[in-house]
Amino acid sequence: MSISEIQKQTEYKMNRTVETLREDFIKIRTGRASTGLLDHVMVDYYGTMTPINQVAQVGVADARTLTVQPWEKSMVAPVEKAIRSSDLGLNPATSGMLIRVPLPPLTEERRRELTKVVRHLGEEAKVAVRNLRRDANEQIKKLTKAKEISEDDESRAEKEIQKLTDNFVVAIDKCVAEKEKEVMTV
């Protein structure tokens, strides 16, 4: 494996870490309705636990209300039960085939708890990026030991990996700051 391959692979993995962080942030509830909020809710679909978006159409009615419309009439009750028993603290109301999910406003205390969760997820992402940096540096050291690259190449490559790491840590901090602002906005 060459230095450029190691760098490309490391950059790709760091990028995936940031994308995963953004996906995790979508699941964190803010004051606004978002269809991504229900993505991790699982419904008992004839004995198989299935994501809600595979058994129903999830939409946004207004800023504080989600709508869920199961594709089968028999799935209305299981979908409602899954939303109610999720860790989101939501109380859906059913009218015929349509389930309305009003999002109650967040309390100041709950907002502060959510910012702690956001910071924790950000810190985990930074740790993942640093672990990727360590792995890349170990691969580079192996190339040096095997006399495939010079020590100068090794130090240059390690500096490049460090630049990558710094850029991704800044990107993670930016994501965390944006999400904290979003959570704290009333």
Which tens digits make up the pLDDT trace of 92-126? 888 888 999 888 777 888 788 888 889 999 999 99
pLDDT at 170: 94
Query: Mean pLDDT across the stretch 5-32?
Result: 86
Write down the pLDDT at residue 46. 87
Give the whole-number percent of the chain exceeding pLDDT 70.
Answer: 97
Per-position b or e across 65-84, b if 16+ CB within 10 A of its CB: ebbbebeeeebbebbbebbe
> Which amino acid does the sequence have at 64?
R
Return the higher-pLDDT residue of 158 and 89: 158
What pLDDT digit, counting tens, does each position of 128-171 carry? 999 999 999 999 999 889 888 888 988 999 999 999 999 999 99
Q: Judge whether residue 67 has pLDDT over 80.
A: yes
Half-sphere exposure of 49 (CA within 13 A, CB side): 5
pLDDT at position 121: 92
Computed over every residue of the chain, the mean pLDDT equals 88
Is CATH 3.30.1360.40 the right assignment for the domain spanning 35-102?
A: yes
Name the nearest CA neighbour of 19 among 171, 184, 177: 171
Please give the CATH number for the structural domain made up of 3-27+107-184.
1.10.132.20
Residue intervals of the chain classified under CATH 3.30.1360.40 are 35-102
Structure tokens at 53: 């978006």
- Tell me if 78 sits within 8 A of 99, measured CB to CB: no
Task: Confirm if 80 and 99 have CB atoms less than 8 A apart.
Answer: yes
Q: Which residue has the tokens 């869920």?
A: 68
Give the distance from CA 54 to its chain's centroid: 19
pLDDT band at 186 (very low <50, low <70, confident <90, very high): low
Which of 183, 180, 24, 40 has its CA nearest to residue 105?
183
* pLDDT recorded at residue 3: 86
- Condensed to tens digits (0 to 9), the pLDDT of residues 161-184 reads 999 999 999 999 999 999 888 888
Outline which parts of the chain fall under CATH 1.10.132.20. Answer: 3-27+107-184
